[in-house]
Amino acid sequence: MHPVLVGGEWRPADAAGEFTAHDPTTGKPLDERYPVSSWSDCEAALTAASDAAEKLDGCSPDAIAAFLESYADRLEGAGEELAEIASRETGLPVRPRLLEVELPRTTGQLRQAAAATRSGEWRQPVHDEPLGLHTGFGPLGPVMVFGPNNFPFAFNAISGGDFAAAIAAGNPVIAKAHPDHPGVSRRMAELAAAAVTDAGLPPATVQMLYGMGPEDGLRMVGDRRLATISFTGSRASGMRLKAAAESAGVLAYLEMSSVNPVFFLPGALAEKGPDLAQELAGSCLLGSGQFCTCPNLCVLVAGAECDAWLSDVARTMSDREPTVLLSSGTLSTLETTVKGLVDAGAAIVTGGAKADRPGYYFQNTLLQVSGADFLESPVALQSEAFGPTTLAVVAADAAEAVAVAREIEGSLTACVYSAADGADDDLCQQLMGVLRRKAGRLLNDKMPTGVAVSPAMNHGGPFPATGHPGFTAVGLPVSMRRFAKLDCYDAVRPHRLPGWLQNE
């Protein structure tokens, strides 16, 4: 059984159980065994993280940046190996997805985090010399990161954006590996540990556990030695962790469910309907629909163009071969969610069932419901169907489309497609005014699937998309401030101020 990374050492786990990853294309277990840690491993990691947090206060920004850059270099050097392991565990293709798209995104954000650490601009220092006040953002303390299953590199607890932002802000990280890809997490943790040593950071700056029992997990996130947790995953799991953390005063940053509504207005369908059908199908099926920004909901206004367009979307989706899902849990949850949508009044236009083949596959699925029925059951009809699935809501008229928009829950994104000739301008303006309050990122004539790693990006949104609408999981240096506290020094002698607040 593989060891855990605790206190700067790979050591045998005090295991309460074990698990294996599975090959999603066959459904068969892989050979390697990983531990489910008992509380003693959790306790040791928390103690080591507390010690590391104090020692990191004495480390220079250059040392932290050097770690991030060295780690990025090591990931690139082992890229072929990492992509092969990740592909076995997730079913995602080595090329282009893992090696040529996701890994460069991961190393790029690590290097952006290093640059932000060196510049220090994220601290936003403010000085009032006459009053002797000096204020700015500093490290918060130990962070526990829970990564999702759909990005084994870019959102992994041991390498992704939350990891990079927490470390860049000067905090130690306890990574909770996802059970769907423990092998690639282990290999990256080895590279991270070596980079910690080379940079001269405290050994427990980076730690990793593969798993723990549900009770120990809730106990751990509610331990006051943690400053915050960062979680990406299902709403049910996120809310349990949030309750346990916040009951002890531990901050919880959560990315959970999001339906990412896309409104297709009549003029847009009349101008370029076939192109938009291809765009929607491509976005819904990209990565088997396993993106947090996948358009789970599209809204149209009834009419001849609408009916023909939906038939075109259904034909496009049914003509494409289903691609593999990440896990048996993903497949099972998708089956349950689609059934729930049907029970709430949606009709299946195409797909709607497990594909008849070994492994974890689901048919490409389009469902449809009237605007009136949606307004009768808006909560049930916004259940996130994580997979190659979307629900089309057909409003009777423009007023009903706006009413649908008002019922949409908080989402990461919202989009409106409108005619170039201005035919849709009045309705577009009205919808965007409503949707601005519903989503963290508002798009016009563009699918929401891609998330640029840019300082101007917001990958967040109102509940239930996230646990807090004022923060983003993508976009440095802003994403670092989730893991920072505002420090004020009042009448502290100048030579005793931290270096970044010594006003020259």
Q: In whole angstroms, what is the distance from residue 312 CA to residue 217 CA?
A: 47
Instruction: Give the count of beta carbons closer than 10 Å to the beta carbon of residue 240.
Output: 16
Coil vs helix vs strand at 415? strand
Cα dihedral sign for 422, 424, 427, 429? negative
Cβ atoms of 204 and 192 within 8 Å: the answer is no
Give per-residue burial for 345-360: e unless 16+ CB within 10 Å, then b: bbebbbbbebbeeebb
Coil vs helix vs strand at 431? helix
Q: In whole angstroms, what is the distance from residue 172 CA to residue 174 CA?
A: 7
Give per-residue burial for 414-436: e unless 16+ CB within 10 Å, then b: bbbbbbeeebbeebbebbbebbe
Cα dihedral sign for 88, 91, 96, 102? negative
415 is catalytic: no
Q: In whole angstroms, what is the distance from residue 337 CA to residue 257 CA?
A: 13
Q: Catalytic pick from 59, 292, 415, 428?
A: 292
For residue 451, report the phi and psi dihedrals to the nearest 5 degrees. -125, 105
Coil vs helix vs strand at 426? helix
Coil vs helix vs strand at 488? strand
How far apart are the two ends of the chain, measured CA to CA in Å? 54
Which tokens go with 345? Answer: 């009044």
Residue 161 identity:
G
Q: Cα 91–94–96 angle (5° rounding)?
A: 120
Which tokens go with 479? Answer: 């994403």
Cβ neighbors of 85 (< 8 A, separation 6 or more) are 183, 184, 187
Cα dihedral sign for 203, 207, 213, 217? positive
The DSSP-derived string for 101-150 is IIHHHHHHHHHHHHHHHHH-GGG--EEETTTTEEEEEEE---EEEE--SS
Nearest to 205 by CA among 66, 102, 12, 40: 66
Which tokens go with 474? Answer: 């993508």
Q: Catalytic pick from 43, 69, 102, 255?
A: 255
Cβ atoms of 446 and 290 within 8 Å: the answer is no
Q: Is 260 left (phi over 0), alpha (psi -120 to 50) or beta?
A: left
Cβ atoms of 288 and 323 within 8 Å: the answer is yes
428 is catalytic: no
- Catalytic annotation, residues: 255, 292
